[in-house]
Structure 1
Amino acid sequence: MEPDSLPTEIILTHPRQSLGSVKLDWTPQPGNYLDLEGKTYAVLERRHRYHLRSGRYRLHKVAIYVQSAPRPSEKSLVAGRWVIGDASCRYNAHSELIRCAVNPEGPCDRCRFYEPVEA
């Protein structure tokens, strides 16, 4: 195994099935997107799997739970992380997984509910 690669099992949440194992050179976080075999998936959850070796637990592999999702076209940088949609809107969820409560499918630029955040 290369020192920078992370053995990762990809698990589809619905219907629950394994999509296989890959070695990633980055750490998948919930809210990230992953392209696998021509399809795009949103990472929902990450779990670490450890083995006990020589009296110590060592990271063996990571399992990520994903769902099929289109890559969002609108993103905003908030406090050092990317969120979906226009973060200057009062209704934006400031989340990597959901845009907002009133218009979760978007787009933000034509939303009739847009209200700027008051300072």
Structure 2
Amino acid sequence: MEISAIPTEVLTLNPDRLLAKLYLDWMPQPGNYIDVEGNTYTILERRHRYQFRRGKYNLFRILVYVQPAPANLERSIIDGRWVIGDVKCLYNAHSEILRCAVNPDGPCRDCRFWESVV
């Protein structure tokens, strides 16, 4: 399925407010990060809105609920997706949600368990 630019509304949960209306060329997933007006947010939830046209339902809009990402967020892109933490560390989970097995809250800098990937 080819994804074209999808109208997306970015909202916060508490307080409930609209941050932005964007056109995304990728499908936002919970755990991904999104940058809005210079701030980074973690996507918590995604909802779809459909419209019935010409006898079928079409994706009309996506709503994503977000929260501010931690200030000490270390992240990198690997294979087209964001992962948190130092990807050069042996214990990095290569996940959007979990940093690593031994120090999940981070930070990676000055971690006593840090080992280089060979």
User: What is the match of residue 75 of structure 1?
Assistant: 76
Residue identity (%): 50
Give the 5 Å matches for 1:19-38.
19-27=18-26, 28-38=28-38
Deviation at residue 62 of structure 1 after TM alignment: 0.3
- Map Cα deviations across residues 40-98 of structure 1 (whole Å, 9 max, x no partner): 21123322211112210011100112111137334362x553311134423x2321123
Matches within 5 A, 1:37-56: 37-56=37-56
Question: CA-atom RMSD, angstroms?
Answer: 2.9
Letter in 1 for 2:34: L
How far residue 114 of structure 1 moved from its aligned partner, in angstroms, is: 2.6
State the distance in 2 between where 1:76 and 1:103 align: 20
* 1:96 paired to 2:96: yes
Distance (Å, rounded) in 2 between the aligned partners of 1:106 and 1:33 = 17
Change in 2 beyond 3 A, CA 1:56/1:45: same
Q: Does structure 1 retain, via aligned residues, the 8 Å contact 2:8–2:24?
A: no
- Aligned to 2:11, what secondary structure does the other structure show? strand
Cα shift at 1:38:
4.5
Choose 29-38 or 58-67, whichever is displaced more. Answer: 29-38
What is the count of residue pairs matched by the alignment?
112
Unaligned 5+ runs, structure 2? none
